[in-house]
Amino acid sequence: MRQHQTSCRYRANIGARRIIFSREPDSALKPRHPWTILSVPISPYRETIHPASTLFMFYHPLPAKRSARRTLLCGLLCTASFASAAPSESNLQLPSWLSLSGTLQTRVEYLNQDFDSGQREDHALVERTTLRADLNFEHSGATLELADSRIFWVEDDTPVNSAMVNPLDILQGYVWVGDDQWQVKLGRFTQDLGSRRFMARNRYRNTINAFDGVNARWQLGEQDTVRAFYSLPVERRFDGDPRDNKMKSDRSHENQQFGGLMYETSRLPFDSQGEIYLLTLKERDSADLQTRNRELYSVGVRLLRNPQTSHWDYEFEALQQEGRSRLSSSATNTDSLDHSASFLHAELGYSFDAPWQPRLQAHYDYASGDRDPDDNENNGLDSLYGIPRSDFGPTGIYGLLARNNISSPAVRLELKPAGDWRLFMELRDAWLATAAAPSPRTGLAEAIPGGDKHLGSQLETVLRWQVIPSRLQLESGLTYFNASDALKDRGIDDKYYLYLQANLSF
Ligand SMILES: [Ca+2]
Ligand SMILES: [Ca+2]
Residue 456, Cβ neighbours under 10 Å: how many?
A: 23
Residue 132 has pLDDT above 70, yes or no: yes
Angle at 390 between CA 384 and CA 394, to 5 degrees: 95
322 φ, ψ (degrees, to nearest 5): -125, 160
Report the share of the chain in percent with pLDDT over 70.
Answer: 82
Residue 199 has a CB neighbour count (10 Å cut-off) of 26
Q: Where do the structural domains in the chain lie, given as residue ranges? A: 1-87, 94-505
Both ends of the chain: CA-CA distance in Å? 39
CB 300 within 8 A of CB 341: no
Ligand nearest to the CA of 146: 1
- Beta strands 359-367 and 377-378, pairing class: unpaired
**What is the pLDDT of the chain when averaged over all its residues?**
85
- Any idea which ligand is nearest the CA of 325? 2
Beta strands 337-351; 377-378: pairing state: parallel
pLDDT level of residue 243 (50, 70, 90 thresholds):
very high
Residue 72: per-residue pLDDT: 53
Q: What's the residue count for the chain?
A: 506
On whether the CB atoms of residues 386 and 205 are closer than 8 A, the answer is no
For residues 373 and 200, what is the distance between their CA atoms, to the nearest angstrom?
30
Q: Which of 477, 476, 490 is nearest to 442 (CA)?
A: 490
CA distance 208 to 365: 24
pLDDT band at 87 (very low <50, low <70, confident <90, very high): very low
> What backbone phi and psi angles, to 5 degrees, belong to 416?
-120, 85
Q: What ligand is nearest to the CA atom of residue 447? A: 2
More confident residue, 249 or 62: 249
Q: Do 199 and 193 form a contact (C-beta atoms < 8 A)?
A: yes
Cα–ligand 2 centroid distance for 336 (angstroms): 11
Helix (H, G, I), strand (E, B) or coil at 242: helix
Consecutive H or E run containing 19: strand 17-23
Report domain 94-505's class.
mainly beta
**H helix count then E strand count, the chain:** 3, 25
**Alpha carbon 333 to chain centroid, angstroms:** 30
Name the phi and psi angles at 440, rounded to 5. Answer: -55, -30
Contact yes or no for 396/387 (Cβ under 8 A):
no
**Residue 4's pLDDT band (cuts 50, 70, 90):** very low
Query: What is residue 63's predicted lDDT score, i.e. its pLDDT?
Result: 45
Mean pLDDT of 187-201: 98
Distance 209 CA to ligand 2 centre (A): 29
The pocket of ion ligand 2, defined by CB under 5 A, consists of 370, 372, 375, 377
H-helix or E-strand containing 105?
Answer: strand 98-111
389-416 pLDDT, tens digit each: 999 999 999 999 999 999 999 999 999 9
Taking CB atoms within 8 Å and a gap of at least 24, the contacts of 41-45 are 41/17, 42/17, 42/18, 42/80, 42/83, 42/84, 42/467, 42/468, 42/472, 43/16, 43/17, 44/467, 44/468, 45/16
pLDDT digits (tens, 9 = 90+) for 333-359: 888 999 999 999 999 999 999 999 999
- How confident is the model over 414-469, as pLDDT tens digits? 999 998 999 999 999 999 999 988 887 887 777 777 778 999 999 999 999 999 99
Angle at 125 (CA atoms; ends 120, 131), nearest 5 degrees = 155
Classify the C-alpha dihedral 479-482-487-490 as positive or negative: positive
- Residues, CB within 5 angstroms of ligand 1 (ion): 166, 169, 237, 250
| Ligand nearest to the CA of residue 168, numbered in listed order | 1
Q: Tell me which residue of 279, 273, 330 sits closest to 306, measured CA to CA.
A: 273
Question: What distance in angstroms lies between residue 343's CA and the mean position of ligand 2's atoms?
Answer: 17
Q: How far is the CA of 159 from the centre of ligand 2 (A)?
A: 28
Other CB atoms within 10 A of residue 31 CB: 9
Do residues 435 and 469 lie in contact, with contact meaning Cβ atoms separated by under 8 Å? no
How many Å apart are CA 111 and CA 109, to the nearest integer?
Answer: 7
Please tell me the number of the ligand nearest to residue 247's CA.
Answer: 1
| CA distances, 131 to each of 76, 187, 472, 485 (Å) | 13, 17, 16, 47
Which ligand places an atom closest to the C-alpha of 341?
2
Q: Which ligand is nearest to the CA of 327?
A: 2
Tell me how far apart the alpha carbons of residues 234 and 377 are, in angstroms, rounded to a whole number: 28
Pairing between β-strand 454-468 and β-strand 295-305 as defined by DSSP bridges: unpaired
